[in-house]
Chain A
Amino acid sequence: GQQVMQIPQYQHVQEGEDFTTYCNSSTTLSNIQWYKQRPGGHPVFLIQLVKSGEVKKQKRLTFQFGEAKKNSSLHITATQTTDVGTYFCSYTDKLIFGTGTRLQVFP
């Protein structure tokens, strides 16, 4: 069956450092969504990627969808303490989530 791995599982960074999380699939994805869950909160939609090689930016966040549509990445430039949380990718129309990457930012 389809398997999607999200790496790393945890990432601790100093405020101001960059951060990247990856979502890797064993099969081609039709599209992918990214969500963020703050500690104690609920997941919140960030973005959806549909096209091969697509790149989208939201302020300090850059999202990419691989050319083969088997992987995706979320990159945060110059992290801030407000970026703390767990970032999930989501795939298939059942809205199944990857394992998530927990980001901790130290001031």
Chain B
Amino acid sequence: DSGVTQTPKHLITATGQRVTLRCSPRSGDLSVYWYQQSLDQGLQFLIQYYNGEERAKGNILERFSAQQFPDLHSELNLSSLELGDSALYFCASSVEPGMNTEAFFGQGTRLTVV
């Protein structure tokens, strides 16, 4: 158990809909990262937060948004969903941003858009 909790584990929704994925980081971790992993593909970096503030953005679509709340949990909002958004979405957390500490990953949320 990595200590990072992601909910829900599975989500099936229709095209055009909006969903929210939730991530609770490990206790004490201030930095949260979101990734998209399509079937048999690599980990595409979406966005990073540190202590409530957006720190870095990757190839995140305009239809996607995220935020980190004062209690440090984070939510990834995906709207106007398309079939191609079907993927595994991972959240990771670390004590601090940067490369000095390891990141811990949640189990992921598998999103299926039908």
Contacts and interface: CB of A to CB of B under 8 A. Distances in A.
Question: Are the chains A and B members of one assembly?
Answer: yes
Given A42-B2, A42-B108, A43-B90, A95 B42 contact: no
B25 interface: no
Interface-centre pick from B55, B94, B98 (highest chain A CB count, 10 A) = B98
A93 B97 contact: yes
Interface residues of B, number: 25
Interface-centre pick from A31, A33, A95, A97 (highest chain B CB count, 10 A) = A95
A45 B102 contact: yes
Contacts of A68: none
Contacts of B42: 88, 97-100
Main secondary structure of the interface of A (DSSP, over half): strand
A78 interface: no
Contacts of B94: 95
Interface residues of A, number: 22
A94 B56 contact: yes
Contacts of B33: 94-95
A33 B43 contact: no
Contact of B103 (A92, A95, A102): A95
B107 interface: yes
Interface of A: 30-33, 42-45, 48, 88, 90-100, 102
